[in-house]
Chains A and B, each alone.
Chain A
């Protein structure tokens, strides 16, 4: 296994370097080839085809999500856009995607200094959801905002108290310049400069980008070149157990 098989010092110095990049220098870190490009594209294609014999529930607002809820799908900003939201408490729709997402979560846990499988169990204080999104619309799908920076929220998935420790991840399932152009995911770096993943930051299909959640970000201006993939990616929000566990 990645963490416990190597000597602790080797691992720790790598993890500390990643932290330096995220928390101090750049505001993000790219794990190149987290999955193979071919693998990433085949996942994006099967999900964009809509052929699964699986019923996704209509959209739940973040604030409505509760443990036990079904996986859901929404179309924003327009009808061709897809976001499939999958919970830890449901059986995986796509076992391969599920495994990849759990591995990504472990990586984030190492960087955030948490137990390796934090967020994947229902007793954890934050519970993972992974969200595969395909954007074809040029309109803004995520308006500029920062998370855990105490910005007022209409639709909260938990406590938004200041927490600069928190990282978000973007697993790239399509390529800037090949499948979409002009827009996509913009991230404010630690020097307050807005960067477009794929154009200003080397982030290709199959790469996993870890970024500081409290830096401003937005998804806008996508011009699709491939009408199935457009800008496809997976993101990894977490829900506060206190909010989603009605039995507690």
Chain B
């Protein structure tokens, strides 16, 4: 894809891959490498301790930007949106393995769990997601995040661009269930292209 001169050349095949799967080269796609930087900053800021093979459980991660060209990651991803699954497989090959559901997972095997909360706003998504926190143990690093759109969204129900309809109030209701173990108030951290909520049980 044609890029402005000041953009990294490696972005071109990534945007091509979005198009090849019928997805829109949207704001978070254009900022793929900035999002990768954001995630790396998040891991650093919150002292995520990775083992030799960095094992991450990724939920609704779209393109899983942080995984790009990082051979040490082993990511298991739950991404019910088929086009994003195909995109992730194309971008990351065997470094990402897609899960059919979130049942019977041993959460202790992961160094980090990342949840894109837009998934909570989609109807028809497996509701196990909202009781996932029953499985979080003390010490497990869990973060929920929200990608920032180009234009601030003011509607309560809106399109995500891949054809899915996101219901903000459904998302917030489900998100409350997902963070019901946090009694001290939820902390939000602002990164350049996403907002992050710390769901670690022991903060």
Listed in ascending order, the chain A residues whose CB lies under 8 Å from chain B are: 8, 12, 15-17, 19-20, 22-25, 112-115, 125, 146, 149-151, 162-165, 188, 190, 214-215
Write the nearest CB–CB distance from A236 to chain B, whole angstroms.
18
Contact of B18 among A15, A23, A146, A188 (CB under 8 A): A23
- Cross-chain contact B22 with A19 (CB below 8 angstroms): yes
Contacts of A151 in B (CB 8 A): 4
B103 touches A (CB below 8 Å): no
Distance of A112 Cα from B23 Cα, bound (Å)? 9
From known contacts A150-B6, A162-B3, A164-B1, infer whether A22 and B19 are also in contact, taking CB-CB under 8 Å.
Answer: yes
Closest 3 CB pairs of A and B: A16-B22, A23-B19, A24-B19
B24 touches A (CB below 8 Å): yes
Distance of A150 Cα from B3 Cα, bound (Å)? 9
- Cross-chain contact B2 with A115 (CB below 8 angstroms): no
B-side interface size class: 20 to 34
> How many A-B residue pairs lie within 8 Å, measured between CB atoms?
74
- Cross-chain contact B7 with A162 (CB below 8 angstroms): yes
Distance of A146 Cα from B16 Cα, bound (Å)? 18
- The contact sample of 27 A-B pairs, CB cut-off 8 A, is A8-B163, A16-B22, A17-B22, A19-B23, A20-B20, A22-B19, A23-B1, A24-B19, A24-B20, A25-B19, A112-B24, A113-B24, A113-B26, A113-B159, A114-B159, A114-B161, A115-B155, A146-B2, A150-B6, A151-B4, A162-B3, A162-B4, A162-B7, A163-B27, A164-B2, A164-B30, A165-B25
Write the nearest CB–CB distance from A172 to chain B, whole angstroms.
24
B74 touches A (CB below 8 Å): no
- Cross-chain contact A164 with B151 (CB below 8 angstroms): no
B162 touches A (CB below 8 Å): yes
Q: Which applies to chain B's interface (DSSP): helix, strand, loop or mixed?
A: loop
- Cross-chain contact B26 with A165 (CB below 8 angstroms): yes
Contacts of B20 in A (CB 8 A): 20, 24
- Cross-chain contact A15 with B163 (CB below 8 angstroms): yes
Write the nearest CB–CB distance from A186 to chain B, whole angstroms.
15
Distance of A146 Cα from B155 Cα, bound (Å)? 31
- Cross-chain contact B159 with A162 (CB below 8 angstroms): no
Contact of A19 among B1, B3, B24, B27 (CB under 8 A): B24
Question: Nearest residue in A to B23 (C-beta to C-beta)?
Answer: A19
Contacts of A165 in B (CB 8 A): 24-27, 161
- Cross-chain contact A163 with B150 (CB below 8 angstroms): yes
Give 8 A-B pairs besides A15-B22, A165-B27 with Cβ atoms closer than 8 angstroms. A24-B19, A113-B24, A113-B159, A113-B162, A115-B155, A150-B6, A162-B3, A190-B1
Contacts of B16 in A (CB 8 A): 23-24
Contacts of B15 in A (CB 8 A): 23, 164
B83 touches A (CB below 8 Å): yes
B189 touches A (CB below 8 Å): no
B50 touches A (CB below 8 Å): no
Contacts of A15 in B (CB 8 A): 22, 163
